Amino acid sequence: MYVKNIAAVLAFICFTAIVLVAVLGPVLTDLDPFRIVWMPITPPGQDGFLLGTDSLGRSIAVQILYGARASLAVGAAAAAITLVIGLLVGSLAGYYRGWIDEVLMRVTEFFQVLPPLLLSMVLVGLFSPTLQTVVFAIGVVSWTGVARLARAEFMKIRELEYVKAARSIGSKDARIIWLVILPNALPPLIVTAALTVGAAILFEAALSFLGLSDPNIVSWGKIIGDNRDYFLEAPWTVIFPGLAIFVTVLCINLIGDGLNDAFNPKLRER
């Protein structure tokens, strides 16, 4: 059971708090993350600034507060795109097999051998570096693992008795795929989707660090990228947003482990 995994429960509580901060934080404050509020490179705790200021005199705490919304939104949206593409490709390949399986798996292998970060950089570079472009690029390069997992689950489940029974009473393929097989294949896919959110947040941070992000939107990766030249002089400008990414991704991974324990009967006695 999920509640028996103490680390997963604590991670869920922590992640819930992060989401609430991301959703309610910008609503409860009228501060502008791009506003210069004090002297540049003010150390944490000095002059009333809890996390200090960056190289331009902007509040690190306010930037992290606003950056949480963008980073989490990118992670969730990119994970949704990854899940949709992976499910579509994997379910069709695993259910129909034959030449459809061969074609879809060759396409999957083509995307799988390409360096994901490099491909996402190319996609963002080809188009304008908006938040939507970043989400699309991350989703396009991240679906192969979901597709292979979905294919394996569909190939296994399609041979079970209740699927054969549904086919024998004349159920159409679409109904069997989406209403019979998919609900029973979802548990491992849900775990993978949860872990994909954390991977997408890291992807967004990497792209923002390289300057491939929307310059008008603050994200944790963008904060690090804007202050990387001042790491030795003002390490807090990089450490605090880095800690935000680390804690968030760690919580998501622990939640994924808890879901795996809950859905996998072989692990429930651990």
DSSP per-residue letters across 3-49: GG-HHHHHHHHHHHHHHHHHHHHHHH----TT-B-SSTTPPTTGGG-
Amino acid identity of 226?
D
Which of the listed ranges 43-47, 123-127, 175-179, 240-244 does the model predict with the highest average pLDDT?
240-244
- pLDDT at residue number 16: 93
- Check if the beta carbon of residue 139 is closer than 8 Å to that of residue 171: no
Supply the pLDDT for residue 243.
94
Residue 181 per-residue DSSP state: I
> Per-residue confidence at 270, pLDDT binned at 50, 70, 90?
very low
Output the CATH code of domain 2-267.
1.10.3720.10
Alpha helices in 29-176 (DSSP H): 60-96, 98-113, 116-126, 131-141, 144-157, 161-168, 173-175
What does the pLDDT read at residue 266? Answer: 53
Alpha-carbon span 154 to 92, nearest angstrom: 9
> What distance in Å separates the CA atoms of residue 125 and residue 2, rounded to the nearest whole number?
42
- Which tens digits make up the pLDDT trace of 75-101? 889 889 999 999 999 999 999 988 999
What is the domain partition of the chain in residue ranges? Answer: 2-267
Using alpha carbons, select from 71, 49, 73 the residue that is nearest to residue 61: 49
DSSP one-letter code for 176 = I
Average pLDDT along the chain = 86
Residue 171's CB is within 10 A of a number of other CB atoms, namely 15
Please indicate whether residue 7 or residue 4 has the higher confidence score (pLDDT): 7
What are 192-214's pLDDT values in tens digits?
888 888 888 888 888 888 888 88
CB 239, CB 182: distance < 8 Å = no
Asked whether the predicted pLDDT for residue 47 surpasses 60, the reply is yes
The H-or-E segment that residue 223 falls in is helix 220-227
| 222 Cβ contact list (under 8 Å, min separation 6) | 67, 208, 209, 213
Burial class (CB within 10 angstroms; exposed 0-12, middle 13-18, buried 19+) of 14? middle
Phi, psi of 45 (to 5 degrees): 85, -10
